[in-house]
Chain A
Amino acid sequence: MKNIKSMRKLRFHYFSVVMLALISAYPIYIVHSSYPLPLHSDEWNHLTIAREIITAKKFIDYNPYLGPRYKVRNWEPGFSIILAVFWQISSLSISELSYVWPALISIILTLNTFVLVQWLRNDIITSFSAGFLALTIKSNVTLLGLWFIVPVAFGMSQLPFLIYLFLRAIHDHLKKLEPFFLSLILSFIATTLVHPPATVLLVPVFFLYLLTQPRVLWMKRYIISLFLISLLCLSSQFIDITKFGDKEEIKKILHQFTFRDETYYTYHKFFSYPRYLGYDIILLALCGVYVCASDNSKHSRVLIFVLITLLPFIIQFYHTRTIFLFPYRRLFSYLSLILVILAGIGVGEIYKFSFNLLPKMFKNKHLSAISKLCLTFIWILFLLWQMNESFAYKTKLYHLITVKDIEAILWLKNNTPENAIILAQPHISNTITPLSDRRVIATTKTRLQSSDKTRKDVHKFFTGNCEDKKNILESYKVGYIFSKHKISCSFLNLTYSKSGNYIYHFVR
């Protein structure tokens, strides 16, 4: 009898995960149903790096839009590598990748959340709620999120997994080889290479948690030392060892450990959790905090430790407008995930509590069954409503190009020499290199940006007279011009004209 029950539980377990996996593709489908291309310029940037790695057959240290002469440091090499490997092996097109990749990352996030909460609470409803709510974190152009091919989404998907491995490693007293710790170290290193803030913010959390477990700290001192050594080795990724001892380099390192200004624009810095996640989620997260705090096994308290450790950094940012250790926006996103997981735990526990309470309230069997059904219906409605809420910023996404522009950009790929340099508006240039493998002059002020001067020159080209145009074309050795309007200068030869796109060849 017990076996049949556990088999049923196991089946429900798998059914829940399969359901979650299927649901996770839904938001991505909704977002891309009207636009089958990458939505954010950062996505185009990452795709361009991955594309260049595949074409150059090596890891690159330059801006692929401009060419090998323009050196730029890649702080997220792991993301470029995993994206390039997946792209190379799957041979998907950019438009296919723009929805397949986010869907895969969403599946990984929901699975990892499910596994973490299942281990913490040992309850399928709670795990399902947390896994589902993790998918409903809003994505937007500032904070990014699951809709985009960006490292922060990848980091989010790994966060519950790293917490799970850490807890298992700490509370697993049986193994000599410490498999959970080894898995944790390996995953920690890889996630740091993919998105450093995802792991940097976990270090103080783990540290605080270990301080509350001095016995474990002593028992696991050797493996924890190995973990710290691997952290030190990993830091070499972010410090230029060849310049070790150099005053400027030391200044740079010290700068990382001081309160400093965020390098990004200031006009969209402030977000508030109640407004971003919703007051209902915050209330449920508080319920989750209560549940975790009163957990007998004490494992769930790690989620509260994340709040205790990271919330002060957010408050500090609101007061001083300076950041410390990690960028504010990334911190905000990762903490949103933890709040949503706590809200999932809150929902699950409220559901369970009410479910057990109903038979006591209604002595009539039928009435009790109907009330249970109503409760389940309310639970489903709440989850669906949250999913609907997650599309709040869907209409505020921008499109760099339209689907019609692809044909013109592909024309460049098929009809221009491989070393041809293309001049186009910066936002269109962001898409030209990954789609046509041609270098450009100027890109938008995002991750892989060109200088302000080049952007000004491109602007001058499209607004200036023919003489200005010629000077700019000659100084940048431009071969072709991609324009959204007609240009009539004697040295420009119209080679392509369709759907409001004009391509000119510069005749020297």
Chain B
Amino acid sequence: MFLTLVRALFGFILVFFIPGYALSWAFFPDKREIDALERFAISIGLSIASVVTVVYLTTILFHLPFTKITSLIIIFSITILFGVIGWIRHSRVKAQTKHEKSGKSKGEKR
């Protein structure tokens, strides 16, 4: 039972969460755009969307073999690619917010 739970959780996180979580940061880099719960739901939705479409395209159009390794490569590729994009966009938003805040506080001091 415990092993089943661990396997199910592992599968859920890899297939239904991680790729979408990376995508969610690429799409919504600002924390204020969506709350944590919305991000969680969007992560699941986008995970399903990305895994289905990318695996479908790679197996049908590019005839890549459907194995555990290719599935994992696809999942990690989506995660890394959009994770990096998300991280860059998030850093920019963070810097901009910091800049705006400091500008405001300077204005207030004056």
A residues in contact (CB < 8 Å) with B: 10, 13-14, 17, 53-54, 56-59, 77-78, 81-82, 84-86, 88-92, 96, 100, 104, 108, 111-112, 114-115, 118-119, 158, 161, 164-165, 177, 179, 182-183, 186-187, 189-191, 193-194
Contacts and interface: CB of A to CB of B under 8 A. Distances in A.
8 closest residue pairs by CB, A with B: A90-B11, A190-B49, A179-B27, A190-B52, A186-B49, A78-B52, A115-B41, A57-B65
Contacts of B42: 165, 183
Contacts of A164: 41
B27 A81 contact: no
A187 B45 contact: yes
Given A186-B49, A190-B49, A86 B11 contact: yes
Contact of A92 (B11, B38, B66): B11
Given A57-B65, A88-B67, A89-B10, 9 more contacts: A58-B63, A58-B66, A77-B56, A81-B59, A89-B71, A96-B7, A112-B45, A161-B41, A194-B52
B37 A115 contact: yes
Contacts of B55: 81, 85
Contacts of B88: none
B15 A89 contact: yes
Interface residues of B, number: 39
Where chain B touches its partner, the secondary structure class is helix
Interface in B32-48: 33, 35-38, 40-42, 44-46, 48
B60 interface: yes
Contacts of A100: 4, 8
B72 interface: yes
Given A104-B16, A189-B53, A91 B65 contact: no
Contacts of A108: 16, 44
B71 A82 contact: no
B10 A90 contact: yes
Contact of A111 (B11, B40, B48, B56): B40
B7 A54 contact: no
Interface in B1-31: 4, 7-8, 10-12, 14-16, 27-28
B37 A179 contact: no
A58 B59 contact: yes
26 contacts: A14-B36, A53-B66, A54-B66, A59-B56, A78-B56, A81-B51, A81-B56, A82-B15, A82-B48, A84-B66, A85-B55, A85-B71, A86-B12, A90-B8, A92-B4, A92-B8, A100-B4, A158-B45, A158-B48, A161-B45, A165-B42, A182-B27, A186-B53, A187-B46, A190-B52, A193-B53
B46 A13 contact: no
Contacts of A58: 59, 63, 65-66
